[in-house]
Amino acid sequence: MDRYRVITNLAEQNNWKHGLELGVWVGVTTFWLMKHTSVNMTCVDAWEGQDDNPEYHDANEQRFRKEAEQWGDRIKIIKGRSLDIIDEIPDNSMDFIFHDSDHSYPFVKNEIEAYLPKLKQGGYCMGDDYNWTPVKQSVQEAFGNNHRVTGKDVWYSIKN
């Protein structure tokens, strides 16, 4: 099961109302959730070009913003690097956080730890690409054995 269906199923099972996506690119995950759930999303991305990855360029932000218009207040957009804008997200406000920004180590681990206070009790800290060594290392160091992997390399841990 891909990340979209994993998140959709969890959103339905847990009656999620508010989610945060860190690293939206062109919004594939966000727009899937808009169409298949009633979740309101906060979306964070710096939308900076990357010399080593031609898929990341300035036009991605305009593409995302144009598509987001149809969803009105259900999508809140914050432009910036995730660790630079963290104070714009209230503590204990999110039902889930989907980490999909920088996949390097220790960035993933630092981002996970920085954003845990933003989750409500029982909220899900999650991401994909668990098969990537830096992601797997970060998740294991952040949560030890207190995480699960499901679907196509989707990982999550529930905040107690």
Per residue in 132-158, pLDDT (tens digit) is: 999 999 999 999 999 999 999 999 999
Q: What DSSP designation does 25 have? A: T
Structure tokens at 153: 């390399």
Per-residue pLDDT of the chain (160 residues; tens, 9 = 90+): 899 999 999 999 999 999 999 999 889 999 999 999 999 999 999 987 655 555 665 689 999 999 999 999 999 999 999 999 999 999 999 999 999 998 899 999 999 999 999 999 999 999 999 999 999 999 999 999 999 999 999 999 999 9
**CA separation for the pair 45, 82 (Å, rounded):** 7
Instruction: Name 21's bridge partners.
Output: 43, 98
This prediction has a pTM of: 0.94
Residue 135 CB: number of other CB atoms within 10 A?
23
